[in-house]
Amino acid sequence: MNRGETLAYLAGVVDGDGYFVVAKDFRTSRTVHPYYRTTLGVQQLWPGKALRLFALVFDGKVTLYPSSAGALMARCELHGQKCAAATRRLLPYLLIKKNQALVSLDVGRLRREAQAGSAEGYARLESARQTALSLNDGSWTRSGILLPVAAVLRGYGRLGPVELGWTKREIHAYLAGVVDSDGNLRIEKKRVRDMLGPNYRINIRCAQVVPSPALELFAKTFGGRLAVRKSQSPNERDLVSWSLHDRAAMRAVEALALHVIVKLAEANLLPDLRHLKAEGKHGETEWVHANRWRDSVKMRKRCYTSEQVAAFERIYRAVQALHSAAPNSYRLVPAAGLTENSRKSPDLPR
């Protein structure tokens, strides 16, 4: 991937597994005014290949910690100037968390005004923090209030891939980042009545909370429809999903396979199933069709051979194994994070 494609991919990862935080703290007990700190972070299940690429590009540090479920998680956070620099580079490619990024960038301006003696400076900083919280929980989208940032930044928030001139490969790279965060590449196996063997079909799907301009971009790029699932709780947000199957999914999988990192193995296995099925049915089955008015008729039709079905099953199980595999074990390091040698692991994406 070139520079633009790499940033587009990482923007897709941030839109899925990333977060922007504006935090307030008092540095000492004697501090009169609070300090407002900005953070851009990404967290994934270890080994977190996309997260390690994020750390490599933006000079971050990967730390590990156990989740409440016992799985090993990886996290990379950028603060202060590193956060601002990374946000500026990712901003042209962000879709879902673009407003959070704009608020984060505006905090730097507001902080300078407050330090210069502006009476309203700290009040505006607190307003920015509350806006960031509302954007993260989804309540800001329903408020209908203009984003309280500098006018030039507010206008930038309305620009999309077309206005910003994304290339086709940058679109694919961004969508690959979303798939590596919130997507799923799988093979469905279903028993169908009157069929000799199970039906295998490839599927690509992605689900996010409403609204999701990323999923709208999926549908615009590869086709398919969006389905909304209403939440069952007032504290939860509605989910929107996008998916494609078989031949329709093939085009999307092949395009994204050039950019995905976390789900690369699945992206390489799914086309194998489609290619095997495209070879046609090599077997033949025969049965007797009963007829009440005349002699029974012997019928024949094409079918997959047992060897073909066995090949389908091997690919299906390989994909299932990738989904169910436990994260690689790794010695948990305290606050210092990974060792320098670990950060330069040879399997890091280049």
Is 177 in contact with 8 (CB distance < 8 Å)? yes
Distance from the Cα of residue 108 to its chain's centroid: 28
User: Domain boundaries in the chain?
Assistant: 3-154
Domain spanning 3-154: which superfamily?
A: Homing endonucleases (3.10.28.10)
Q: What is the pTM of this model?
A: 0.84
* Span 294-318, pLDDT tens digits: 777 677 778 888 898 999 999 999 9
pLDDT of the residue at 350: 31
73 contact partners, CB below 8 Å, separation of at least 6: 43, 44, 45, 46, 48, 64, 65, 66, 67
* Span 243-297, pLDDT tens digits: 999 989 999 999 999 999 999 999 999 999 999 988 888 888 766 666 766 777 6
pLDDT of the residue at 31: 57
pLDDT of the residue at 85: 94
Q: How far apart are CA 275 and CA 86, in angstroms?
A: 41
Mean pLDDT taken over the chain: 83
Residue 198, classified by CB atoms within 10 Å of its CB into exposed (0-12), middle (13-18) or buried (19+), is middle
**Closest to 214 (Cα-Cα) out of 96, 135, 99:** 96
* Span 50-92, pLDDT tens digits: 999 999 999 999 999 888 777 889 999 999 899 999 999 999 9
Q: How far apart are CA 274 and CA 246, in angstroms?
A: 7
Q: How far apart are CA 18 and CA 15, in angstroms?
A: 6
Q: How far apart are CA 338 and CA 127, in angstroms?
A: 36
* Span 189-201, pLDDT tens digits: 988 776 667 889 9
Is 126 in contact with 114 (CB distance < 8 Å)? no
* Span 132-155, pLDDT tens digits: 888 888 777 655 567 777 766 767
Angle at 84 between CA 81 and CA 87, to 5 degrees: 150
